[in-house]
Amino acid sequence: NAFQDAKRNVAILYSYECLMQNLQYQSNMFTVYNTLIQKGQKPLYVTDNSIDKITDCSLLVIPGNLLIKESTVDAILNYISNGGEVIVIGENSFSRDMYNKPLESGTLKNKVASLKSKATVISANLLHDTPKSDFEPGAADKIETVLNNIGLMNTRLVDKSTNKTAEVEWNAVEYNGDTLISACNYSDNSITVTVEKDGKMRTNISDIKSNLNNLSDITLEPFVPVLLKVPSSEITISLLK
């Protein structure tokens, strides 16, 4: 269907070796993935062996990988030079070789420094001996800013109570000229949302599963998936007062 066939615009670099060496890595991976699906993305996982797949994506997120191969750094630098965006979680990312030895001065260390200088680096302590992520406050907002800057959040599901992007899983695709949005609220409380497209709140939204039309607000009940349709042309109301 339209959602299964939709292009994946964001990649996450996964490393089994990092998972084995760093207690926090699994939690970091989950935090990054959860943040991205709450920003309307459908991430693609890539590894050192499939790093070439990032060329089809607009953004690569490195979720606190301590270990690094030089061939992977070369591929990412080439990706950046061709217009790709990169987010690096943690200043200590890519600080060790595949034998878990700190990078000494030399070509690889210089390449890593160049990569980080061209990326958005989000502070995170990667060296705590704990399974819990330790990202800087506002990390999710920084990720959203990058997504917005590269045009991946022209459609947004907005929480009416906060006027911020709703903390629910959602994904939007274009289909026959309209926008379809699949969403599910995995919290214990209902959330009322609206749809923003190109900076304007949309009206005349249809809830396809419930067969309800002419909606501007939609209540997402806990664990009840919804499928919304936003017509290609309709009256819009600016969210900016």
pTM of the prediction?
0.92
What integer pLDDT is reported at residue 234 of this predicted model? 60
Both tokens assigned to 197: 């497209």
Q: Would the pLDDT of 83 be above 80?
A: yes
User: How many angstroms from the chain centroid is the CA of residue 97?
Assistant: 26
For the cut 80, the answer to whether the pLDDT of residue 91 exceeds it is yes
Among 17, 25, 10, smallest CA distance to 59 is for 10
Q: Is the predicted pLDDT of residue 240 greater than 50, yes or no?
A: no
Given this model, what pLDDT does residue 204 score?
Answer: 87
Q: Which residue has the higher pLDDT, 43 or 130?
A: 43
Least confident of 49-58, 74-83, 122-131, 214-223: 122-131
Give the tens place of pLDDT for each residue, 138-154.
999 999 999 999 999 99
pLDDT of 232 reads: 78
